[in-house]
A and B are shown apart, each in its own frame.
Chain A
Amino acid sequence: GAVVSQHPSWVICKSGTSVKIECRSLDFQATTMFWYRQFPKQSLMLMATSNEGSKATYEQGVEKDKFLINHASLTLSTLTVTSAHPEDSSFYICSAKSGWGQGYGYTFGSGTRLTVV
């Protein structure tokens, strides 16, 4: 089936630094990828929709300048958390839609746990 690889699986960074998370579709081309954020014991909240070759579409309340999304190719989207603060500590998950396979083709990465100290 379709595979989405997310890296790193966990990262610890200091306040004020930036962290980049990568999301790759391994066996299909993804013109659109999605970035979610999950706080402990809460739902997966969509942050933004990443579009290949164009600007990302952010959900209401998500800071565009803090969460930079780049979708430079059909198989790679990156999320950069800039000037990270402890409140940015969370679990970030990417997803892509292959258009085939189970679950209408929605495939999720394994997630990245970000801890800002």
Chain B
Amino acid sequence: DQQVKQNSPSLSVQEGRISILNCDYTNSMFDYFLWYKKYPAEGPTFLISISSIKDKNEDGRFTVFLNKSAKHLSLHIVPSQPGDSAVYFCAASPDYTGTASKLTFGTGTRLQVTL
């Protein structure tokens, strides 16, 4: 039962354009959402997060949008750069305060930014 899904396994975007990565979830208990960037044979690197009390969070070139009623979130990268090429995972947690709160990861989207 995949509670967090990223329906696009790959995405190719031209440098300078916007990259939009999507993520859907089914568990209504999830209240905190995170996006990670990952290279092969490395641990995930945190990008940006959002809690369910917000519908948008922005940090530099990265913006995350949350539509709680649709159980959908998206990550926008503007402008896209070649260094953004990596696999992106969304993750969700029901409770960020507890140290035992575990993350559920999506299936990942491989982003390739072309010149």
Instruction: Enumerate chain A interface residues (CB-CB to B < 8 A).
Output: 4, 6, 9-10, 30-32, 34, 36, 41-46, 49, 51, 91, 93, 95, 97, 99, 102-106, 108-111, 113
Contacts and interface: CB of A to CB of B under 8 A. Distances in A.
Contact of A42 (B42, B103, B107): B107
Contacts of A93: 43-44
Contacts of A30: 99
Which of A9, A32, A99, A106: most chain B CB closer than 10 A? Answer: A106
The A contact surface, by secondary structure, is: strand
Contact of A104 (B32, B42, B43): B32
Given A106-B46, A108-B43, A111-B42, A46 B89 contact: no
Contacts of A41: 108
Interface in B37-68: 41-46, 49
Q: Tell me if B's interface is mostly helix, strand, loop or mixed.
A: loop
A104 B34 contact: yes
Contact of A43 (B45, B93, B108): B108
A97 B46 contact: no
Contact of A111 (B41, B100, B101, B103): B41
B110 to A, nearest CB: 8
Contact of A49 (B32, B41, B93, B100): B100
A99 B95 CA distance: 12
Contacts of B105: 36, 43-46
B43 A97 contact: no
6 contacts: A41-B108, A93-B43, A95-B103, A97-B101, A103-B34, A111-B41
